[in-house]
């Protein structure tokens, strides 16, 4: 079944608890953590994740676009994130980090920027619960979907299947009614959508419409 994770980057930060409730039917809430170093934007950190965790029953999918995830990522699991994604480009010891995240009781996930190939990480996949293939350059919501990432999504799906893994394959960036079917067809099963959900008049209905489209 396709999972739809609305990104609160496109929500009203002054009303996060209400914005979480506005997408009650969502599988996860995608929380974009940016440190103004790994990406040229700054959002929120552990205290906000902790507060949001207490304000909603929807599990939190924390996407850490930060330097030194080895140092910080386990704290997000401790704060209540159900899934913690670090970037391959920033992690010094991704296997150790994934194990630490799992030891905190969260799902461990690794993200790849558009120019980062998946192949060098093939042997690491069993250590992960999810791989995130970015379909825009990380940093901002509302960017155009990069079609050229579709072959990478396909190759990642092939690697996952080749090893018989149950891990999820997430796409993030420019996912909307006009791009989600191509992502699903290429093998993604978890879809992050920011502007396509929170930019809609009825965010909950947008989640359900995206899910139907992804499930074809
Ligand atoms: C971008 C973030 C995304 C962003 C997606 O760096 O990682 O999660 O919120 O927003 P849309 O869906 O508007 O591209
Ligand atoms: Zn994200």
Residue ranges for the chain with pLDDT beneath 70: none
pLDDT of residue 130: 99
Residue 40, CB-side half-sphere exposure with 13 Å CA sphere: 1
Which of 9, 175, 177 most suits a substitution to test ligand 1, by most atoms within 8 Å of the C-beta? 9
Binding site feature residues: 7, 30, 32, 63, 139-142, 172-174, 194-195
The answer, yes or no, to whether ipTM is higher than 0.90 is: yes
Q: Which of these is catalytic: 27, 129, 172, 189? A: 172
Rounded to whole angstroms, how far apart are CA atoms 32 and 21? 18
pLDDT of residue 1: 86
Q: For domain 3-214, is the CATH number 1.10.645.10?
A: no
Catalytic status, residue 32? yes
Residue 18 contacts residue 39 (beta carbons within 8 Å):
no
pLDDT of residue 155: 98
Domain ranges of the chain: 3-214
Rounded to whole angstroms, how far apart are CA atoms 170 and 191? 6
Q: Which of these is catalytic: 27, 32, 129, 189? A: 32
pLDDT of residue 39: 98
Nearest residue CA, atom 10 of ligand 1? 141
């Amino acid at each position: 079944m396709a999972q739809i994770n609305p990104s609160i980057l496109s929500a009203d930060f002054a009303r996060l608890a209400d914005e979480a409730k506005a997408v009650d039917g969502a599988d996860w809430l995608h929380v974009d953590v940016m440190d103004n170093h790994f990406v040229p934007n700054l959002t929120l950190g552990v205290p906000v994740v902790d507060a949001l965790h207490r304000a909603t029953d929807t599990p939190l999918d924390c996407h850490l676009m930060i330097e030194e995830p080895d140092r910080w990522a386990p704290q997000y699991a401790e704060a209540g994130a159900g899934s913690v994604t670090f970037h391959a480009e920033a992690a010094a010891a991704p296997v150790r980090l994934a194990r630490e995240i799992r030891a905190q009781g969260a799902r461990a996930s690794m993200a790849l920027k558009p120019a980062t190939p998946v192949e060098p990480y093939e042997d690491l996949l069993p250590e992960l619960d999810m791989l995130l293939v970015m379909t825009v350059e990380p940093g901002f919501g509302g960017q155009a979907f990069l079609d050229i990432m579709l072959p990478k999504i396909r190759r990642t799906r092939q690697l996952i299947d080749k090893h018989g893994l149950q891990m999820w394959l997430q796409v993030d960036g420019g996912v909307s009614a006009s791009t989600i079917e191509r992502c699903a067809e290429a093998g993604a099963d978890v879809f992050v959508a920011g502007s396509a959900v929170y930019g809609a008049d009825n965010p909950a209905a947008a989640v359900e419409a995206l899910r139907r489209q992804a499930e074809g």
